[in-house]
Homo-oligomer: A and B are copies of this chain.
Amino acid sequence: MTKTISGNKGLQQAEGLLFDVGAIDRTGVDLPATSGRAHRLGGLRRTAPLPLPGLSEPEAVRHYVRLSQKNYAIDLGFFPLGSCTMKHNPRLNEKMARLEGFADLHPLQPMGTVQGALMLMEELSRWLLTLTGMDAVALSPKAGAHGEMCGMLAIRAALEARGEGETRKRVLVPSSAHGTNPATAVACGFIVDEIKGDADGRVDLIDVQEKIGPDVAAIMLTNPNTCGLFERDVKAIADLIHEAGGYFYCDGANYNAIVGRVRPGDLGVDAMHINLHKTFSTPHGGGGPGAGPTVLSAALAPFAPVPHLVRNGETLTLVENEVDADGSPFGRMCAFHGQMGMYVRALTYMLSHGSDGLRQVAEDSVLNANYLLARLRGHFNAPFGEGPCMHEVLLDDSTLKPYGVETIDLAKALLDEGYHPMTTYFPLVVHGALLIEPTETESKAELDRFADVLIGLAERAKTDSAHFKSAPHLAPMRRLDETRAARQPKLRWWPQEAMKIAAE
């Protein structure tokens, strides 16, 4: 490849660290003059160095625009990252979240000045409850994992209210569960008991039956599950857990496959978080923020945390302190009232789709996945048999391995092909898992192109494993050394680095 003097490669701009390009005497803001008046700091003026580099606005814009171009994104192409639901993020949602009447509201303004915001929260709650067929919703959790915690703390509170807080500590979690499930259970003071999977990619009902008992607090089931399959025995499991005096926590990360077609409330669910950043399209923003409103059954509703809304005729009020609540709130998940910016986006999305459109969302996500499955079945191993999937296609690398190509290599080869890989090595129940989630916002043409590429790569693997092992070749960087990063962690830049460079 042509070597350049600048280090750039055509449009691909080399960009140094902020600490290389910025300086402490530069700034990209102007501010009104200070007055120099007497202060009230009581001797606590900063003495520690403040080596924060600044950039003028033109330099700053360029720094971040250049960085941005080193990223892949849904807006750039297909992003079939299973379990993460990378669907199109409508721009209307962004615009609405920035309306002054939402964005420039302080969480503690007098409630009379924020009735519109409270109405929006009420309307969002109505949609969530109607769609899920549940009894109450705690809007405040900040993401899916936080919602899990909310649900599990509600269960804990319900058990304590029954005097069983100390006796029921065991939570059943399938081996295919997302890592947040066991982590949450433990964070809420429970003990995790793992449930096996069956040959069909569902939880093993026998194992559930065997493990259930009077010391079980709950089961945490993902449905559709992380293999992209519907838990056929969900009703039986719900009945089992209820009969045993426990609760059914449903991980709702995959709710997008059934929204508008199945109400979790009809399946016996007691608590379920909803990732607004998955099913309801709020953008993932390179890692967050999300929002994890958690719906609750009648059994758990009284324990919902503060704050929550109450309507009094024309007026809406947030109950913010436990002492003011009617029920027995288990506490508070966070300061203020949760992710308002995400509520605006999610409600905008819901109103746009309507009940008919949301149903279509679920159906198209399932249709897209099954179409991909149909196209790929002969070329990859589908570990769980012949039936239809829900919104995700689970494959593995068993047909590639004989040629020396593994899941990670296929993923890196996809980078060259201009794709974000599917989720890899998850769920853990499948070796070398490839979890593909197309979502409903992909066209048939995109699916076909992706299938062609995967099939082509499967062919290529048979004769050219070297290509895979050394991939990526065309991405902004070659394969990164993650082991080294973990062995010799370097988690920040230090001012000494600048001095070293200067000295060299």
Residue positions of A touching B, CB distance < 8 A: 1-2, 4-14, 21, 30, 56-59, 61-62, 65-66, 69-77, 87-88, 90-91, 352, 415-419, 441-443, 445, 449, 452-453, 456-457, 467, 472-476
For A61, list chain B residues within 8 Å (CB).
75, 88, 91
A261 to chain B, nearest CB (A): 21
Query: Is there contact, CB below 8 Å, between A474 and B419?
Result: no
Task: Provide a sorted-by-A list of 29 A–B residue pairs whose CB atoms are within 8 angstroms.
Answer: A1-B474, A2-B416, A4-B416, A4-B474, A5-B452, A5-B456, A6-B449, A6-B452, A7-B418, A8-B77, A8-B419, A10-B418, A10-B474, A10-B476, A11-B69, A11-B71, A11-B72, A11-B418, A11-B476, A56-B441, A56-B443, A57-B90, A58-B74, A58-B442, A59-B443, A62-B75, A65-B73, A66-B76, A66-B77
**Closest chain B CB from A56 CB (angstroms):** 7
Q: Judging by beta carbons under 8 Å apart, are B419 and A6 in contact? A: yes
A474 touches B77 (CB 8 A): no
**Within the complex, what minimum Cβ distance (angstroms) separates A227 from chain B?**
26
A475–B10 touching, CB < 8 Å: yes
Given the complex of chains A and B, what is the CA–CA distance between A443 and B61 in angstroms?
A: 13
- Asked if B11 and A475 sit within 8 Å, CB to CB, the answer is yes
Residue of B nearest to A21 (CB): B445
- Please determine whether A75 and B69 come into contact, CB atoms closer than 8 angstroms: no
Interfacial chain B residues near A453, Cβ < 8 Å? 4-6
Are A472 and B10 in touch, CB under 8 angstroms? Answer: yes
**Min distance, Cβ A70 to any Cβ of chain B, angstroms:** 8
Contact check: which of B2, B71, B75, B442 meets A474 at CB < 8 Å? B2
Contact of A57 with B13 in the complex, beta carbons under 8 Å: no
Contact status A418-B8, CB under 8 Å: yes
- Total copies of the chain: 2
Residues of chain B with a CB closer than 8 A to A449's CB: 6
Q: Which residues of B contact A473 (CB under 8 A)?
A: 1-2, 10
B475–A417 contact, CB under 8 A? Answer: no
Given contacts A61-B91, A476-B10, A476-B11, contact A5 B457 (CB under 8 A): yes
Q: Give bound CA distance, A10 to B414, whole Å.
A: 8
- Which chain B residue has the least Cβ–Cβ distance from A5? B456
**CB < 8 Å neighbour of A76 from B13, B71, B76, B474:** B13
CB pair A1–B1 under 8 Å, yes or no, is yes
Give Cα distance in the complex from A11 to B476, angstroms: 8
Chain B hits for A474, CB < 8 A: 1-2, 4, 9-10, 12
3 A-B pairs with the lowest CB-CB distances in the bound complex, closest first: A8-B418, A10-B474, A58-B88
Contact present for A10 and B88 (CB under 8 Å): no
A307 to B57, CA, bound (A): 36
Cα separation A73 to B8 with both chains bound (whole Å): 14
A419 neighbours in B (Cβ, 8 Å): 6, 8
**What separation, in Å, do the CA atoms of A87 and B59 have in the docked complex?**
12
CA distance A416 to B6 in the complex (A): 9
Interfacial chain B residues near A57, Cβ < 8 Å: 88, 90-91
Q: Which residue of chain B has its CB nearest to the CB of A477? A: B10
**Across the interface, do B418 and A9 meet the contact criterion of CB distance under 8 Å?**
yes
What residues on B are CB-neighbors of A30 within 8 Å? 352
Q: Bound state CA distance, A387 and B464, in angstroms?
A: 63
Residues of B within 8 A of A59 (CB): 443
CB of A240 to closest CB in B, whole Å: 41
Could you tell me the distance between the alpha carbons of A453 and B65 in the complex, rounded to whole angstroms? 22
In this complex, what residue of B is CB-closest to A72? Answer: B11
